[in-house]
Amino acid sequence: MYKLLDEVRILDLTRLLPGPYATLLLADLGAHVIKIEDPKEGDPVRALSPRYRDGTSYLFHLLHRNKASVALNLKSQIGREILLKLAQTADVLIEGFRPGVTARLGIEYAAVRAVKPDIIYCSVTGYGQDGPYSEHVGHDLNYISLAGILGLTGREEPVIPGVPIADLIGGALAAFYIVAALQRRARTGAGAYIDLSLTDAALSLMTLHWADYVGAHRDLKRGQLPLGGYYACYAVYKTKDGRFLSLACLEPKFWQAFCERVQRPEWVGRPFDPSLKAEVQRLIETRSLEEWLSVLDPKQVPITPVYEELREIWNDPHLRRRRLWVEGLEQLAAPARLAEVRIEGDRLAPALGQQTEEVLRELGIAPDAIARWRAEGVIA
């Protein structure tokens, strides 16, 4: 955990994936994230398989390291009052309810701003706070369908990507805009409201295709995308041993290096010829993956193995050298390195409500009130 945002306090009312991924990125930068959970069940991700050694979902641990948990019933009047009291001590509040829910609970932006004028309040939803679809329910598959990503993925029919793209880019952009708003507040003292739509976030990834549509007045089709395996120089090929390699020779120098190493000088002028792919495939099928990695030399030709099993990623010497796993905690590490920044050891995800009493005591709430609220189910 890098100590870059160690003076920032965040109330996280989100659950599942997008919001928790956003606050994970912020917690990894040192922000003090307090996860607000339902006292009875907590975040539904806690119950998912596989389970970690403490019985909690492994995914929950991956998403919630370096955070604290306060179990609070937001549907109760006392729970609402506690949250607003907590908000007075916070810099950021992030929530992932459907539009209108926070208003019914009495914790919408206006209510929180009334007690904390410079709060940065971020709402993460599928379709945004306004528009004809704002009240529609949905998940990642729906968002990437609407944004056009799903329609462009695959060949004959749309293929669902291997990772939830909208959820993850939405979470990353939420963290990005929160940090930007914190920077603005440091200059001006003003808070901000962030309306983050996962569909909008997914659509922002369509830059290359939008450029073709607006600039060249053409719609790129599935199976014919320049960076989707349509060209011979930028595609995935099957090797003799049934493995796959990715070839990405977009620049002429790389394509020429490839042609020279496979002794096919007649291919040099045809990097973007789709009809050449079949010839390249027949050649690649003559050697194993390891043989091609040796023959082509990744220092000269952009070529990598296509990993299909996570154990291959785990054992890759380069990825291990980059220390992308936190040994002992079995965690994925923060994806960037920062020099000259203080580092602190990562902490495992908290148990449900683990820090509830500690946080309430910090607010000056008496022990007898805490005990009474616990008995009433307001907290846990």
> pLDDT per position in the chain (380 positions), as tens?
889 999 999 999 999 999 999 999 999 999 999 999 999 999 999 999 998 878 889 999 999 999 999 999 999 999 999 999 999 999 999 999 999 999 999 999 999 999 999 999 999 999 999 999 999 999 999 999 999 999 999 988 999 999 999 999 999 999 999 999 999 999 999 999 999 999 999 999 999 888 888 888 888 889 888 889 999 999 999 999 999 999 999 999 999 999 999 999 999 999 999 999 999 999 999 999 999 999 999 999 999 999 999 999 989 999 988 888 876 667 788 888 888 788 888 888 999 999 999 999 999 999 999 999 999 999 99
Which two three-digit tokens encode residue 48?
A: 């998912």
Closest CA to 200 of 161, 227, 169: 169
78 plus 26 within the same structural domain: yes
Q: What angle do CA 337, 340, 341 make, to 5 degrees?
A: 70
295 plus 337 within the same structural domain: no
- Exposed/middle/buried for residue 117 (C-beta within 10 Å: 0-12, 13-18, 19+): exposed
191 plus 271 within the same structural domain: no
Q: Is residue 3 one of the residues assigned to a domain?
A: no
Closest CA to 116 of 78, 95, 89: 89
Q: Is residue 229 one of the residues assigned to a domain?
A: no
Non-local (6+) Cβ contacts of 321 within 8 A are none
68 plus 20 within the same structural domain: yes
Q: Cα-atom radius of gyration of the chain, to the nearest Å?
A: 25
Residue 136: which CATH number? 3.40.50.10540
Q: Is residue 263 one of the residues assigned to a domain?
A: yes
44 plus 92 within the same structural domain: yes
38 plus 172 within the same structural domain: yes
- Exposed/middle/buried for residue 130 (C-beta within 10 Å: 0-12, 13-18, 19+): exposed
Q: Is residue 226 one of the residues assigned to a domain?
A: no
126 plus 184 within the same structural domain: yes
Q: How far is CA 5 from the centre of its chain?
A: 19
Q: Is residue 2 one of the residues assigned to a domain?
A: no
CA atoms within 13 A on the CB side of 8: 28
DSSP string, 309-337: SHHHHHH-HHHHHTT-EETTTTEEPPS--
Range of the domain at 13: 9-204+326-376
CA pair distance 259, 210, nearest whole angstrom: 32
Is cis: bond before 305, omega within 30 of 0?
Answer: no
13 plus 58 within the same structural domain: yes
Q: What is the pTM of this model?
A: 0.93
